[in-house]
Amino acid sequence: MVGLQKYKADYQQLIAELPGQSLNWLQQLRADAYAAFSETGFPSLREEEWRYTNVSAIEKKLFSPLVSADNSTLDAAWLDTYALKDAIRIVIVNGRFCKEHSSLEGLPAAVTVSSMADALEQKPQLVEQYLAQAVGHDKHSFVAFNTAWFSDGLLVHVPAQLVLEQPIQLLHVVTQADYLATSRNIVVVEEMAQAEVIETFVGESNAYLTASVTEVFVEENAELILYKMQSESDKAYHFGGTYVKQARHSRFKHHNFAFGSLLARNDVHTDLDVASECDLNGLYLGIKRQHIDNHTRINHLQPHAISRELYKGVLNQRARGVFQGLVFVAEDAQKTDSTMNNRNLLLSADAEADAKPQLEIYADDVKCAHGVTVGQLEDKSIFYLKSRGLDEETARNVLTFAFANEMVEKVALKDLHAMVLDQLLQRFPQEHVDKEWL
Amino acid sequence: MSTSAQEIENLIAQDYKQGFVTEIEVETFPPGLDEEVIAKLSKIKNEPDFMLEYRLKAFRHWQTMKEPNWAQLNIEPIDYQSISYYSAPKKKGDGPQSLDEVDPELLETYKKLGIPLDEQERLAGVAVDAVFDSVSVATTFKGKLKDAGVIFCPISEALQEHPELVKQYLGTVVPETDNFFAALNAAVFTDGSFVYIPKGVRCPMELSTYFRINAANTGQFERTLIIADADSHVSYLEGCTAPMRDENQLHAAVVELVLMDNAEIKYSTVQNWYPGDENGVGGIYNFVTKRAECRGHNSKVSWTQVETGSAITWKYPSCVLLGDNSIGEFYSVALTNNYQQADTGTKMIHIGKNTRSTIISKGISAGKAQNTYRGLVKVGKGAENARNYTQCDSLLVGDKCGAHTFPYIEVKQPSAQVEHEATTSKISEDQLFFCQQRGLSAEDAVSMIVNGFCKEVFKELPMEFAVEAQALLGISLEGSVG
């Protein structure tokens, strides 16, 4: 509880520095969220949703928020390797918007892309309309924490019937040790519009905490492809929540790559309206002592919606991977069509995989299936490759790579594909990967 | 189909045919539970001292515990002080020495239920232990079993005659601190069956216990302990019924199975406690802790259950696979109709090397019922080459019911292979149309499709039970179509 007191004390100092001071509704929202967080603190293992993930280290580590912007230590060349060419880019450094590395070149006038702090000054009504509408701070205490603490973030608003050619990248960077970076992002795609948004989380090799919440609104007939590449430092703690509201006939695709962090928790929740579609893809790669927790919830609230989900995990050394997925089908959601799959590859005796795929169904005319596997590479496949002249190690590499690459291949953006592939190979189970076969 | 229209009418009209009450003189404790009641109960049973200590320890621990609320169940609060913890048919003298001395009313009751206690008339051999409310009233074929060296008797009798065996094993699989209902059961259990199969013995006949709740306002707490010593084999069946009453009655049982090297136990249950009426009034609250421990190498345990009764079912027969190469199996059909709720499944704990487990679970939900599968597959670090296959399918009949699946999979061993599959669907219009086009009524068609859906589980049941289970499914589904 000492840790919790420290976080609370820090908050009292921080509060005057947070954006949106002049907005009463926001002050109220922060106060409510702060009260909710103070009451519960960080989640404990006793909560069913957190039974496999122990976050007590966050409380012990005492991460502190940055009161004012400090980009002095930022290595521009290093940052550049994570910037996607041709993308509209918002860079958040240590929880604050960094204008000099951001780029809004080529952005159509009708589209809003700005930092959350700027948006709260220039378009407060737009933020008010959406903030905390896809997720309430009662969801769990990290969301409450983020709502009270957030210092900046990204706002994307794509007006109706506009197809945005350029992708939008949020590049979230933490350079300082023991920092706490809380960002709150909103992505709105109006009727019949289309957009692609990429969230990239990176950091220099320190221990720090990222607590990010993204709210997504996909309106009628609209389409959004959202990518998330989490390559935080291997000492970092990461909480990322994506909460989606989908209107009728909307389409939402999510590609979630979890590579970094010592402890990462990722939530993806989506609410489906009539005949909407969602496609959730995930790849988590755990090495060393990494703990990666993926949590998804698909709410079929109305009839005729379709959901597809595939999460794959590769766990090596002492890593632990967690998958908790829930498909909820409400009483009226007839003709729901849903599949959920989780596949885990355990490569070492000390690795662990925990899976909890759940179905909660209150309608009868539905097709719902889920499957989980935990296992190792098939002897038969290895034998086949060896019979073709590959040595054992290469054969294993080829098969492990193929297993993970299925998810990477789904990335349609060329630059991003190359970046994700590079991140995958950097953390590849065997250190010396023979890239000839790539 | 040669059944006449009249017969069909009769078939549909019958609801819960075991719902009658037997008028019999009983001795019942007043409602309430404290240490005195437990002491009195232990005294009536003339138990050894260690039992009273065991009960009191469990009771004291129970008082510190809270009812579990994690299950997908909506339970009216239970007042544990309004339940009577002992009810027994009044005994003449020292209790029946042979069937002739058993109260004819009792024999009549079991005859009505179709349970043959009269061993002379039996052709096929199934030894039956009949438990009526709190006590065992008759055990058949005792002599024949004794010749084989098998001990099959009420647990209260085992406490008199084989206290050392009971003391050695009781509570070692399900400790008295295990969970709320197991603790309550350890404190107040009144009877149940005790089975010991000695080394190298293949039990010459199937053993069966038949549980009957009769008295009102009583709870039934039975305890079953089965020990299969090395190289032994036994098949055990369990059946249960209760009268129709408007108030809910509590049933909290504990079953412990111990398996040594190369032993095999096949445990089959047809659970048909009174499920309550179509408005959800009355019915049994069924909270059962069942666990098997494969202590020896190459042992095998198989749970088969058909759950059609009870207002609430909370039951997770588990297998602890300690010994190398041991096998755990779980086959389940859970059917809920009207306002019934079931939260059931299994736990497979893989500890030994090359352990294997199979889970086949079929949930059928109709009316306004909620049916949940909840299971855990855990592979420990040392469980090399462990293998699990899980399949749980749900069938929904009607648009007001729910079917849920909550599997937990925890794997710490890379050579383990764990697979889980689940599907949820309804009976397709095509299937129904095909059956009806061949002249079956809608209800018969549904019954047939449901039976097909459950076939994988039914084929695991002993012959007599399989027939009973199929009939039960038909009755339980009545009125859920159209």
Burial class for A383, CB neighbours closer than 10 Å (0-12, 13-18, 19+): exposed
Q: Which two tokens stand for residue B241?
A: 């019924």
Mean pLDDT, chain A, integer: 89
Please identify every stretch of chain B with a pLDDT value under 70, giving residue numbers as ranges.
1-26, 89-130, 132-140, 214-217, 242-245, 464, 474-482
By Cβ distance, the residue of B399, B420, B424 closest to A372 is B420
Listed residue (A155, A67, A144, A152) closest to A114, CA to CA:
A155
Output phi, psi for B351, to 5 deg.
-120, -45
Listed residue (A385, A333, A341, A384) closest to A361, CA to CA:
A333
Nearest CA in chain A to B384: A349
By Cβ distance, the residue of A334, A347, A374 closest to B409 is A374
Dihedral in degrees, nearest 10, Cα atoms B72, B74, B76, B77: 40
Listed residue (A281, A259, A277) closest to A268, CA to CA:
A281
Nearest CA in chain B to A353: B411
Could you tell me the maximum CA-CA distance found in chain A, to the nearest angstrom? 71
By Cβ distance, the residue of A348, A365, A375 closest to B418 is A375
**B60 min Cα distance to partner chain A (Å):** 24
- How high is the pLDDT of residue A70? 64
Q: Do B407 and A362 touch (CB under 8 A)?
A: no
| Element of type H or E holding B350 | strand B347-350
Higher model confidence: residue B248 or residue A172? A172
Q: Do B414 and A361 touch (CB under 8 A)?
A: no
Chain B partners within 8 Å of A368 (Cβ)? 423-425
By Cβ distance, the residue of B410, B414, B416 closest to A354 is B410
- How high is the pLDDT of residue A326? 94
C-alpha torsion sign, points B159, B160, B161, B167 = positive
Listed residue (A101, A76, A97, A319) closest to A204, CA to CA:
A76
Write down the residue that tokens 């900046």 correspond to.
Answer: A152
By Cβ distance, the residue of A334, A354, A371 closest to B420 is A371
| Element of type H or E holding B148 | helix B142-148
For residues A245-257, one letter each, b for 16 or more C-beta atoms within 10 angstroms of the residue's C-beta and e for the rest, the string is bbbbbbbbbbbbb
* Whole-angstrom Cα Rg for chain A: 21
Q: Do B425 and A366 touch (CB under 8 A)?
A: yes
Chain A partners within 8 Å of B410 (Cβ)? 352-355
Q: Do A356 and B419 touch (CB under 8 A)?
A: no
What is the tally of helices (H) and strands (E) in chain B? 11, 23
DSSP state at residue B77: P
Q: Which of residues 57-86 of B touch A (CB under 8 A)?
A: 70, 72
Nearest CA in chain B to A371: B421
Output phi, psi for A294, to 5 deg.
-115, 130
Chain A partners within 8 Å of B405 (Cβ)? 357-359, 370
Chain B partners within 8 Å of A349 (Cβ)? 381, 413-414
From A79-93, A199-213, A266-280, B22-36, the region with the lowest mean pLDDT:
B22-36
- How high is the pLDDT of residue B76? 82
Q: Do B411 and A367 touch (CB under 8 A)?
A: no
Nearest CA in chain A to B376: A356
By Cβ distance, the residue of B381, B402, B424 closest to A368 is B424
Q: Which two tokens stand for residue B111?
A: 């005859």
Interface of A with B (CB under 8 A): 48, 331, 334, 344, 346-349, 351-376
B412 touches chain A (CB under 8 A): yes
Q: Do A359 and B381 touch (CB under 8 A)?
A: no
**B336 min Cα distance to partner chain A (Å):** 14
Identify whether the C-beta of residue A416 lies closer than 8 Å to the C-beta of residue A225. Answer: no
Q: Do A368 and B401 touch (CB under 8 A)?
A: no
Nearest CA in chain B to A365: B426
The domain ranges of chain A are 2-273, 380-438
Chain B partners within 8 Å of A347 (Cβ)? 414
- pLDDT one-digit tens code per residue, A281-311: 999 999 889 999 999 999 999 999 999 999 9
Write down the residue that tokens 């590959």 correspond to.
Answer: A390
Chain A partners within 8 Å of B425 (Cβ)? 366-368
- How high is the pLDDT of residue B87? 76
Q: Do A360 and B402 touch (CB under 8 A)?
A: yes
Write down the residue that tokens 């983020």 correspond to.
Answer: A146
- How high is the pLDDT of residue A202? 92
Chain B partners within 8 Å of A46 (Cβ)? none
Amino acid at A345: L
Q: Do A361 and B419 touch (CB under 8 A)?
A: no
Distance CA B195, CA B204 (A): 13
Q: Do B398 and A356 touch (CB under 8 A)?
A: no
Beta bridge partners of A270: A244, A298
Q: Do B420 and A357 touch (CB under 8 A)?
A: yes
DSSP state at residue B374: E
- How high is the pLDDT of residue B456? 84
Q: Do A373 and B394 touch (CB under 8 A)?
A: no
B425 touches chain A (CB under 8 A): yes
Distance CA B303, CA B266 (A): 6
B45 contacts: CB under 8 Å, gap ≥ 6 = B156, B159, B190
- When pLDDT is averaged across residues A52-74 and rounded to a whole number, the result is 75
B32: phi > 0 → left, psi -120 to 50 → alpha, else beta; which? Answer: left
For residues B363-377, one letter each, b for 16 or more C-beta atoms within 10 angstroms of the residue's C-beta and e for the rest, the string is bbbbbbbbbbbbbbb
- pLDDT one-digit tens code per residue, B369-428: 899 999 999 999 999 999 999 998 998 888 888 899 999 999 999 899 999 988 888 888
Calculate helix-pair angle for B442-458, B429-437, nearest 10 degrees.
110
Please give the interface size between A and B, counted as residue pairs whose CB atoms are below 8 Å apart: 114
By Cβ distance, the residue of A355, A358, A364 closest to B399 is A364
Alpha-helical regions (H) of B14-66: 35-44, 49-63
3-state secondary structure chain A: CHHHHHHHHHHHHHHHHCCCCCCHHHHHHHHHHHHHHHHHCCCCCCCHHHCCCCCHHHHHHCCEECCCCCCCCCCHHHHHCCCCCCCEEEEEECCEECHHHCECCCCCCCCEEEEHHHHHHHCHHHHHHHCCCCCCCCCCHHHHHHHHHCCECEEEEECCCCECCCCEEEEEEECCCCEEEEEEEEEEECCCCEEEEEEEEEECCCCCEEEEEEEEEECCCCEEEEEEEEECCCCCEEEEEEEEEECCCCEEEEEEEECCCCEEEEEEEEEECCCCEEEEEEEEEECCCCEEEEEEEEEECCCCCEEEEEEEEEECCCCEEEEEEEEEECCCCCCCEEEEEEEEEECCCCCEEEEEEEEEECCCCCEEEEEEEEECCCHHHHHHHHHCCCCHHHHHHHHHHHHHHHHHCCCCCHHHHHHHHHHHHHCCCCCCCCHHHC
- How high is the pLDDT of residue A352? 92
B407 touches chain A (CB under 8 A): yes
Pairing relationship of beta strands A306-315 and A277-286 according to DSSP bridges: parallel
By Cβ distance, the residue of B413, B416, B424 closest to A361 is B424
By Cβ distance, the residue of A363, A369, A373 closest to B418 is A373
- How high is the pLDDT of residue B145? 82
B162 touches chain A (CB under 8 A): no
Identify whether the C-beta of residue B210 lies closer than 8 Å to the C-beta of residue B181. Answer: no
Chain B partners within 8 Å of A303 (Cβ)? none
Q: Do A361 and B426 touch (CB under 8 A)?
A: no
**Is the complex ipTM more than 0.95?**
no
- How high is the pLDDT of residue B279? 80
Q: Do B405 and A358 touch (CB under 8 A)?
A: yes
**A53 min Cα distance to partner chain B (Å):** 13
By Cβ distance, the residue of B70, B406, B414 closest to A346 is B414
**A399 min Cα distance to partner chain B (Å):** 16
Q: Do A354 and B411 touch (CB under 8 A)?
A: yes
Of A50-54, A133-137, B138-142, B231-235, highest mean pLDDT: B231-235
For residues B312-325, one letter each, b for 16 or more C-beta atoms within 10 angstroms of the residue's C-beta and e for the rest, the string is bbbbbbbbbbbbbb
- When pLDDT is averaged across residues A151-162 and rounded to a whole number, the result is 92
- pLDDT one-digit tens code per residue, B129-163: 667 665 665 666 777 788 888 898 888 888 888 99
**B37 min Cα distance to partner chain A (Å):** 35
Nearest CA in chain B to A335: B425
Write down the residue that tokens 């012990």 correspond to.
Answer: A60
Listed residue (A154, A162, A146, A156) closest to A201, CA to CA:
A154
Q: Do B399 and A344 touch (CB under 8 A)?
A: no
Identify whether the C-beta of residue B377 lies closer than 8 Å to the C-beta of residue B410. Answer: yes
Beta bridge partners of B143: none
Distance CA A429, CA A314 (A): 9
